[in-house]
């Protein structure tokens, strides 16, 4: 099983997609408190580095660089910006999230 370092953000229920989980590759997943419920929410939000860096500058130069290297370099800066801005919630310890949210995120990221 692939292991990931997860960055977790909680907006305190301000929106239905209360939790944003980001793996060490920059992939983002939005989750509600009950993501497995038919009335719950679980949706990919793309790659935060890709969304932040490449979309704003266009994709033409993306094919000419080592994307993995860019993600590794830029992810800590973007995570810090998310923490500072608080626009997706407060950063929390992944292990403090409800167990159902943790398990759902682990399963989604490992598939």
CA atoms within 13 A on the CB side of 39: 0
Task: Give the H or E element holding residue 9.
Answer: strand 7-10
Question: Quick check: helix, strand or coil at residue 52?
Answer: helix
Could you tell me the pTM of the whole model? 0.84
Highest mean pLDDT among 4-8, 28-32, 53-57, 83-87: 28-32
Query: What pLDDT is attached to residue 55?
Result: 57
Query: What pLDDT is attached to residue 5?
Result: 86
Q: In this predicted model, what pLDDT tens digit does every residue of 74-95 receive, in sequence order?
A: 899 999 999 998 889 999 999 9
Where do we find the tokens 């500058």? 57
Query: What pLDDT is attached to residue 80?
Result: 93
Q: Judging by beta carbons within 10 Å of its beta carbon (0-12, 13-18, 19+), is residue 100 exposed, middle or buried? A: middle
């Amino acid at each position: 099983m692939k292991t990931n370092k997860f960055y977790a953000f909680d907006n305190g229920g301000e929106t239905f997609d209360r939790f944003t989980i980001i793996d060490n590759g920059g992939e983002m997943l939005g989750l509600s408190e009950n993501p497995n419920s038919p009335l719950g929410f679980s949706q990919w939000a793309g790659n935060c580095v890709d969304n932040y860096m490449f979309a704003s500058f266009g994709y033409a130069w993306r094919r000419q660089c080592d994307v993995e290297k860019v993600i590794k370099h830029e992810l800590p800066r973007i995570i810090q910006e998310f923490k500072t801005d608080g626009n997706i919630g407060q950063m929390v310890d992944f292990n403090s999230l409800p167990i159902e949210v943790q398990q759902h995120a682990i399963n989604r990221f490992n598939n």
